[in-house]
Amino acid sequence: MPRQIAGRVVVGVDLSLAGLRALRLAVAEAGRRGVAVHAVRVWNCDSSWQDDAAGCTEEIGEQARAEAVAAFDAAMGGIPHDVRVVITPVVGRPWSALVDYAYRDNDLLYVGTSQRHWWRRLFRPSTARYCAAHASCPVVVVPAESFVRSAAGRRQTRAIIRELSSRSMTT
């Protein structure tokens, strides 16, 4: 009987509240499974790096590792000692780089998602939606904590009320 290869737990790393929550959940799942968590920080080299791709990769790698460590600090107080952590900087677009990295059928991909304004969705695709639609492995889409989502809604409500009251005062 062939031995099955254990899947990986892959998480897209960023410092958003949903991203930090996804990181915590991915580490917990990796601990349950007894596998390493692959913390992937994706960076995009802009056009100024086109002449020096090696320089882009070097500098991006250092920045990506530093940001991943900062994400672990913010989410968990540091890199956990009970789970093996593999920090992987990847150059590319976040949505396609995460799908390409978590290519095995038995991988599990965690991505954070946040509520975005309609105009931001026009110019930048949702990484979570892209991953859910195109990944060959299961994808766990993690929203921010409920109190963060409700606070954002309250801020929007207050902003609308202020706008309406300022318009009524000027007329």
Decide: 95 and 111 in contact? Cβ < 8 Å.
no
According to DSSP, the residues that pair with 88 across neighbouring strands are 40
Assign domain 9-145 to a CATH class: alpha beta
pLDDT of residue 81: 93
pLDDT of residue 63: 85
Q: What is the DSSP letter of 106?
A: T
Decide: 43 and 54 in contact? Cβ < 8 Å.
no
pTM to 2 decimal places: 0.75
Domain range annotation of the chain: 9-145
Number of residues in the chain: 171
Over its length of 171 residues, how does the chain's per-residue pLDDT go in tens digits? 444 557 899 999 988 888 999 999 999 999 999 999 999 998 876 655 455 555 566 777 788 889 999 999 999 999 999 999 999 998 888 889 999 999 998 999 999 987 655 555 556 678 888 899 999 999 999 987 665 555 555 665 566 666 666 666 555
d(CA 157, CA 80): 39
Which two three-digit tokens encode residue 37? Answer: 């968590």
pLDDT of residue 168: 60
